[in-house]
């Protein structure tokens, strides 16, 4: 028989994902809210079934004591990852994952021959504009200006 490990809160970066991981933990435990309450009482914790149900139905960060009682009642011995994740989120120091870079669009990239055509067109425009400016400058030199004093 294979026993799956409990869910981990490591990926939780905000209140919503943390509570989602707590929901996964409850599902993993296979226990009802009343059974969780009994397990918590047996461990010396106070966790009313209504508190556990309310906690999982909201996307707010639960208090550390409630998280500890809930995780222990679900059958997880090592509370540290859950309490550390909760603290990181509460302090605002949870690592925010950067969004994955978007793949390059094939339409947005120019192929080799298209790049060459664009470069040639840019050279033609630059050469034409330079020639036009030289022509204007030469025309101005050809104009005789006579200054008449009063």
The verdict on residue 131 lying in a domain is: no
The answer to whether residue 20 sits within a structural domain is: yes
Report if residue 66 sits inside a domain.
Answer: yes
2 pLDDT higher than 50:
no
Q: At what angle do helices 64-73 and 15-29 cross, to 10 degrees?
A: 20
Q: What letter does residue 39 receive in the DSSP assignment?
A: H
pTM for the structure as a whole? 0.62
In-domain check, residue 106: no
The length of the chain is 150
pLDDT digits (tens, 9 = 90+) for 53-82: 999 999 999 999 999 999 999 999 999 999
Helical segments of 14-145, H only: 15-29, 33-42, 49-56, 64-73, 80-91, 112-142
Phi and psi for 66 in degrees, rounded to 5?
-70, -40
Residue 86 maps to a domain: yes
User: Is the confidence at residue 27, as pLDDT, over 50?
Assistant: yes
* Residue-averaged pLDDT of the chain: 81
**The total number of structural domains that make up the chain:** 1
Does 115 fall in a domain?
Answer: no
Let me know: does 64 contact 86? Beta carbons within 8 Å.
Answer: yes
When pLDDT is averaged across residues 17-42 and rounded to a whole number, the result is: 96
* Parent domain of 32: 15-91
Q: Is residue 120 part of a domain?
A: no
Q: Assess if residue 132 is contained within a domain.
A: no
Q: What does the pLDDT read at residue 17?
A: 96
């Amino acid at each position: 028989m294979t026993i799956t490990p409990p869910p981990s809160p490591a990926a939780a970066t905000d209140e919503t994902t943390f509570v989602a991981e707590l929901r996964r933990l409850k599902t993993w435990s296979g226990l009802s809210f009343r059974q969780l309450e009994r397990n918590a009482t047996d461990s010396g914790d106070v966790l009313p079934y209504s508190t556990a149900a309310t906690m999982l139905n909201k996307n707010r960060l639960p208090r550390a004591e409630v998280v500890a009682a809930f995780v222990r009642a679900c059958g997880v011995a090592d509370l540290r990852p859950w309490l550390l994740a909760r603290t990181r989120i509460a302090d605002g120091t949870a690592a925010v994952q950067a969004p994955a870079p978007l793949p390059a669009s094939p339409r947005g990239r120019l192929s080799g021959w298209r790049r060459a055509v664009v470069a040639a067109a840019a050279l033609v425009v630059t050469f034409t504009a330079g020639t036009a400016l030289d022509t204007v400058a030469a025309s101005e030199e050809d104009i005789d200006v006579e200054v008449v004093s009063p």
